[in-house]
Amino acid sequence: MNTPHDTDKSSERLNKFLARQLGISRREADVLIENETVTINNTLATLGARITPSDSIDVAGAPVSHKPAALRYIALNKPVGYVCSRRAQGSTPTIYSLLPPEFHALKPVGRLDKDSSGLLLLTNDGDFAYRMTHPKFAKTKQYRVRLDRDLEPLHQQMISDFGIDLDDGRSQLILTRLDDNRREWHITMSEGRNRQIRRTFTALGYTVTRLHRTNFGNYALSDINRGEWREVNIS
């Protein structure tokens, strides 16, 4: 195994270095190494390799700077009508049009679809993003949801107590009423499957007309105005 500098106290694991400098998780860094896209001093790197500041590191032929990357974390109140991608989809703008250029290298921690709004975290800290999104950490998310019609008590019980079978597994949500007409709900969940809330209600014949995320793990939207952002301290 290619593990230079094993006894050098100034050395560090290659995957840790790549995660920090590229804003990816260590697991994603390991994938880059396994796919033979990373070199150390023009030699293919292998899993477990260690490096020092004097080593030349390239990924897909592009050099990776040793200059310390400042880790940034921001919370954005995403409006409806924006996509969480770097490229606009037709006439639909991206969330990056709401951010100053200095934040355009940050990546969303999870996503909100075009028709959803609320708290969106962005960072260049891959390990933080991994801890926030991997199912084994079960980070709680909270939403305000509006339906096109009143939710029947039986359907409320089905969703909360038994779960609804979807193509990718059972979906179980914690529902709390916010309005007497049974259309406004507070939803708590610890999963994050693609459009899970919308698909859960669709399976029972409802349409979600508003989906707004207020909390993600320890982070809350609080008083951030729609379309605005704020730097946050991680906890």
Q: Are 205 and 109 in contact (CB under 8 A)?
A: no
Active site residue 58: no
Residue 47 CB burial class (10 angstroms; 0-12, 13-18, ≥19): middle
Q: Which of 6, 30, 55, 113 is catalytic?
A: 113
User: What residues are labeled active site?
Assistant: 113
